[in-house]
Structure 1
Amino acid sequence: MSLNGNAAAFLLLLPAVLLSRRVCHGGRILIVPLEGSHWVNMDIMIRALHAQGHSLDVVRTNKSWYIKDDSPHYKTITVPVAEAFNHDFINPILKKIIGIERGESSGLSFVSLQIEMFNAMFDMHGIMCKMASVMFKDEDLMNSLKEQKYDMVLTDPAWGTGIMLSHALKLPLVFNVRWATSGEGHLAVAPSPLSYIPMTGSGLTDKMTFIQRVKNLIFYFIWQGQDIFLIRPQYQAVCDQFFGTEVRYSDLLQGAHLWLMRVDFVFEFPRPTMPNVVYIGGFQCKPAKPLPQHLEEFKVIWRYKGDRPATLGNNTLLVDWMPQNDLLGHPKIKLFVAHGGTNGLQEAIYHGVPVVGVPVFFDQYDNLLRLKERGAAKLLTLATVDKDDNFLNAIKEVLNEPSYRMNMQRLSRLHRDQPITPMDNAVFWIEFVMRHKGAAHLRSESFRLPWYSYYSVDVVLSLLAAAAQGD
């Protein structure tokens, strides 16, 4: 039997293609996600893993906000709880924070804001610890999870339930991470010199004066105090109850095999990192699809819920939901008015769309500041957005000043110029952990050192003592 040229070439090429794909077939992954916008990007990763042939189970509560009980891409494990992190929890907090930001509350706004954030974080992690306790007390559930023979746990470490669950099940742990329970993810895993690593909430960049470094140090102590006194003890109490006092929650957090970091250095300021940190910023981004005709007809499209403002122009369409990625990828898009969430800003970078940012809380100001420093965004605050035509002037400036679009398109070119897409990179490393039953060889054991050994204080003191005796 003879083969024509095309068929022969195909058969010669096929083994090379198959060998080049290091596919991990049929893995079983237990997903412990965070609710809200964090679920949006976790769901995209789940779909990609499902497309690779992996079986995925997702832990959710019976009061879940975003996570649906039925999906073709995953099965759910529903935990009954009395309270959960959902819109009933977050909406009152947002109203208080917006009131503080706009000066509607009495007292010092900074102190009021910090107290409100401390209370919110304490309550949120308390809810997560109660959820974890419900799971660990349910012997049938835990036995069922053990019988599933999962290959790994994939979790968002902004809460600690998945971290403790991976220890209970003795499974390799992978993070889909920007935030850990202790703060920004890098702080828990990599060296972070405060001289040029700005703390979240500080409003600082990687170029600091002496006074700014003092401010940065103060914010570091604020974050440390929140973790040491408000957050970590709640998780440690769960560990003490179910694992024993010798198991430290901080070790479980820092001992993850892999950190899939949802930023890249087109967005983030340059900083030290570690071998088990893989940068997947923008992994949720993709080329735009054509827009529905009703969206093509408007110049301004605004996601808004509530009664239509009386002064709204006829060129503006109000929608409950919009295909944000597709809109940002439309050739006629001019700018993106955003609150500063990481998902939206990464999509803006991917499509090269300049931003007018109005942050609400947490990391949103810092996210927008990174784009502002690169000349790709105009940043406003809630306190000033409606004064002296600030919002209108910001819109005009970004529309009429070409540098904003040029700078953002430059960031887009840098972001896209990679040998492998962020999503493919994420999937590769998740499968790497499954193939090798972890990635301990990439993990630093520095977190097990006491602080005086980590900073070699004991060595310096010993040398000083020896020198003093010699004199």
Structure 2
Amino acid sequence: MAPTVLAGLFPLSVCLLLTSGPTEAGRLLVVPMDGSHWFTMSSVVEQLIHRGHELVVVMPEVSWYLKKSLNFTAKTYSLPYSLEDLNHEMKIFADHQWKIRDKNLISLLTSSSSKIFDYLFSHCKSVFDDRKLVKYLEETSFDAVFLDPFDMCGLIIAKYLSLPSVVFTRGGFCHYQDEGTQCPSPLSYVPRALLGFSDTMTFWERVQNLLFHMEEHLFCHYLLKVAVDIASENLQTTITPYDLHSHVSMWLLRTDFVLDYPRPVMPNMIFVGGINCHAGNPLTEVSPTPEQRRIRPSVLYFSL
């Protein structure tokens, strides 16, 4: 009975959060992720503002799409690199993704393209180095943190401020989301991200799925080391990615079974649709090149 009741309460909580009228509006701290991640989150932010909620958005001064708005309070922090530096590293990363066919964490860690992750995961150091901003966050009363977990900064801030957190995500490429939510993820039926397998894997594909999962356990902590060190330093205790993901109150999953497959989820995980990109113009009638036809969908997903 209890799980059924909880499953009904979480969607109700989301409805109350997004509904205006008799429900009292809240003050939310928003920690977004730049790039294509912001296209979808910005539409939710606009609706929250429209329904009377007060939003404070923490954003870097250097970004592709994060811009100040008259409709929310923007709190910016400086970064040790320029937009040109960011564009340069992103180009290296994108070019590398088009060249390699097999996706694995070892290639990300050993290639020059992995520097882009150091840039993204170091954002939170700049946040906590801005003592004026940190003091403002500590002294301001927020009801919850609305965040994108990709660069882990929102997860760190939510835990630092001891606030409930609502995660808005397409999904991660490491195992921490499944383990942090205690969500069953049987390797015989749920393919790991980047592999491009279906939910009806052959025996050899299941073996590959198991090996990739073991690879995640061996190397993911190296990939996230910068963010984890920042969290441990500012929380003054040893922090793991599992600690940060298990702190989340609610997961809003912007996924679609056209791209993913049915899998067990916990009561605080809610599917909100598969929108993942900015609405674009109609495609031109240009046939893809032979090289583009060989690109697996997982490559396009990961480059986002």
Interval containing the TM-score (normalised by the shorter chain): 0.7 to 0.9
Question: Where do 1:221-240 residues align within 5 Å?
Answer: 221-231=214-224, 233-240=225-232
1:88 and 2:25 equivalent? no
Residue 225 of structure 1 aligns to a residue whose secondary structure is: helix
8 Å contact 2:77–2:130 — kept in the other structure?
no
**C-alpha distance in 1, partners of 2:145/2:287?**
36
Superposition deviation, residue 247 in structure 1: 4.3
Question: What corresponds to 1:63 in structure 2?
Answer: 62
**C-alpha distance in 2, partners of 1:244/1:118?**
30
Question: What corresponds to 2:41 in structure 1?
Answer: 42
Which is worse superposed, 52-61 or 80-89? Answer: 80-89
Question: What corresponds to 2:158 in structure 1?
Answer: 166
Superposition deviation, residue 180 in structure 1: 3.7
**C-alpha distance in 2, partners of 1:283/1:123?**
28
Change (3 A) 1:281 1:119: farther
Superposition deviation, residue 54 in structure 1: 0.8
Corresponding letter in the other structure for 1:193: P
Superposition deviation, residue 169 in structure 1: 1.5
Superposition deviation, residue 266 in structure 1: 5.4
8 Å contact 1:59–1:77 — kept in the other structure?
yes
**C-alpha distance in 2, partners of 1:175/1:169?**
16
Question: What corresponds to 1:30 in structure 2?
Answer: 29
Question: What corresponds to 1:364 in structure 2?
Answer: 301
Question: What corresponds to 1:207 in structure 2?
Answer: 200
8 Å contact 1:176–1:259 — kept in the other structure?
yes
**C-alpha distance in 2, partners of 1:169/1:129?**
19
Tell me the TM-score normalized by structure 1.
Answer: 0.52
Question: What corresponds to 1:99 in structure 2?
Answer: 99
Corresponding letter in the other structure for 1:82: P
Change (3 A) 1:237 1:63: same
8 Å contact 1:163–1:252 — kept in the other structure?
yes
Q: Which has the bigger relative contact order, CA under 8 A and spacing at least 6? A: 2
Corresponding letter in the other structure for 1:157: P
8 Å contact 2:103–2:194 — kept in the other structure?
no
8 Å contact 1:97–1:361 — kept in the other structure?
no
Q: Which has the larger radius of gyration?
A: 1
Question: What corresponds to 1:73 in structure 2?
Answer: 71
8 Å contact 2:31–2:59 — kept in the other structure?
yes
Superposition deviation, residue 156 in structure 1: 0.8
**C-alpha distance in 1, partners of 2:275/2:193?**
23
> Moved runs in structure 1, 4+ residues, more than 6 A?
335-338
Change (3 A) 1:360 1:227: same
Change (3 A) 1:125 1:90: closer
Change (3 A) 1:111 1:201: closer
Superposition deviation, residue 32 in structure 1: 0.9
Residue 166 of structure 2 aligns to a residue whose secondary structure is: strand
**C-alpha distance in 2, partners of 1:263/1:336?**
28
**C-alpha distance in 2, partners of 1:55/1:181?**
32
Corresponding letter in the other structure for 1:57: V
Question: What corresponds to 1:446 in structure 2?
Answer: none
**C-alpha distance in 2, partners of 1:236/1:26?**
33
Residue 241 of structure 1 aligns to a residue whose secondary structure is: helix
Question: What corresponds to 2:12 in structure 1?
Answer: none
Residue 281 of structure 1 aligns to a residue whose secondary structure is: coil
Residue 63 of structure 2 aligns to a residue whose secondary structure is: coil
Change (3 A) 1:365 1:149: closer
Corresponding letter in the other structure for 2:214: F
8 Å contact 1:32–1:59 — kept in the other structure?
yes
Superposition deviation, residue 159 in structure 1: 1.2
Corresponding letter in the other structure for 2:140: Q
Which is worse superposed, 148-157 or 92-101? Answer: 92-101
Identity of aligned residues (%): 27
Residue 179 of structure 1 aligns to a residue whose secondary structure is: coil
Question: What corresponds to 1:217 in structure 2?
Answer: 210
**C-alpha distance in 2, partners of 1:236/1:171?**
19
Residue 248 of structure 2 aligns to a residue whose secondary structure is: coil
Equivalent of 1:177 in 169, 174, 178? 169
Change (3 A) 1:358 1:125: closer
Superposition deviation, residue 212 in structure 1: 1.2
Change (3 A) 1:21 1:237: closer
**C-alpha distance in 1, partners of 2:256/2:298?**
22
Number of residues of Structure 1 aligned to a counterpart in Structure 2: 279
**C-alpha distance in 2, partners of 1:280/1:266?**
14
Question: What corresponds to 1:278 in structure 2?
Answer: 270
Gaps of 5+ in 2: 1-18
**C-alpha distance in 2, partners of 1:80/1:365?**
27
Superposition deviation, residue 84 in structure 1: 7.0
Q: Deviations over 1:214-254 (max 9, x none)?
A: 111111122222313331x3333223222122544421222
1:260 and 2:258 equivalent? no
**C-alpha distance in 2, partners of 1:268/1:227?**
22
Q: Name the Cα RMSD after superposition.
A: 3.5
**C-alpha distance in 1, partners of 2:179/2:286?**
30
8 Å contact 2:93–2:113 — kept in the other structure?
no
Gaps of 5+ in 1: 1-19, 102-109, 286-321, 339-355, 368-471
